Amino acid sequence: DQQVKQNSPSLSVQEGRISILNCDYTNSMFDYFLWYKKYPAEGPTFLISISSIKDKNEDGRFTVFLNKSAKHLSLHIVPSQPGDSAVYFCAASAGGGSNYKLTFGKGTLLTVNP
Amino acid sequence: SQTIHQWPATLVQPVGSPLSLECTVEGTSNPNLYWYRQAAGRGLQLLFYSVGIGQISSEVPQNLSASRPQDRQFILSSKKLLLSDSGFYLCAWGRNEQYFGPGTRLTVT
C-alpha cells in the first residue's frame, strides 16, 4: 500500500510560469513533510519541509502548502527556471521514536521549457 | 559543514558475488544513518536505518545486510547478489531533514 502518492509522473511548464507539484498521503500519523529534487545519477537534494502545525512554508521561489484535512500537499515554484528541471520527490515522516523514517512518493519529472 | 561520501559510484557485479558499499559522514557526530534503494522507475525505498554504533534496523526482508562499525560509517553488504539487487543505492544522514550522498549505481549481471 502506497502511503505517499504523486499521481502525476511528469509535468511540463514554460520558463517564468508557476510549477505546481502535488502529493497525497494516506497515513494520518504523518506529521512532517519534505520535498526533494533529484537530478539523474545524483542523490536527492533537500528543498523545503513543513510541519503539520503549519499550512504554508516559503523559501525563496519555493512554497509548500499543506492541507491536513485533505491529506494533500503541494510544492509551488515561482518563477520556474530551466535549471529546475528534475525529478521531485515528496516524503513524509511520522513523529515519535528516534528513527525519523521517511516514506517517499514515486516522484514527478518536471520539465521547464525555455 | 557536513558532508556525506559514498563509494564506489558505479559497480557491475555478477550474480552470486558479494557486495560491500560504504558510506561515511563528516562534520557531525552520532548521526542517524539510512540506506535507501531506488529501483528503475520507482521511488526511494528505505532499506536500513541506524541510530547508533551497532544498532541496525531492517525495513524490508531481503538479500542485504547493514553494519555500523563506527559512529560515522555505514556499510551495506550482501553475501550473494541477486539480479533483483540492481538499483541506485543511497546513503543519508539526518533526522527530520535527511541529506543524501551521491549514490552508487549497482548493476547485477
Q: Tell whether B87 lies on the interface with A, counting CB pairs under 8 A.
A: no
| Residue A107, min C-alpha distance to chain B (Å) | 6
Above 80 in pLDDT, residue A53?
Answer: yes
Q: Is the CB of residue A45 less than 8 Å from the CB of residue A88?
A: no
Q: Measuring CA to CA, how many Å separate A47 from each of A37, A54, B5?
A: 7, 17, 20
Give the Cα separation of B37 and B97 in Å (integer). Answer: 18
pLDDT in tens, B64-89: 999 999 999 999 999 999 999 999 99
Q: How confident is the model at residue B59 (pLDDT cuts 50, 70, 90)?
A: confident
Predicted local distance difference test score (pLDDT) of residue B39: 82
Q: Is the CB of residue A62 less than 8 Å from the CB of residue A76?
A: yes
**Cross-strand partners of B99:** B93
| Residue A105, min C-alpha distance to chain B (Å) | 6
Q: What percent of chain A has pLDDT over 70?
A: 95
Q: Tell whether B8 lies on the interface with A, counting CB pairs under 8 A.
A: no
pLDDT in tens, B4-53: 999 999 999 999 999 999 999 999 988 999 999 998 777 899 999 999 99
Cβ neighbour number for residue A87 with a 10 Å cutoff: 20
Predicted local distance difference test score (pLDDT) of residue A96: 59
pLDDT in tens, A27-52: 999 999 999 999 988 999 999 999 99
Give the Cα separation of A15 and B89 in Å (integer). Answer: 32
Chain A positions touching B44 (Cβ under 8 A) are: 44, 89, 91, 102, 104
> Among B76, B88, B83, which residue's Cα sits nearest to residue B20?
B76
Predicted local distance difference test score (pLDDT) of residue A87: 96
Q: What percent of chain A has pLDDT over 90?
A: 89
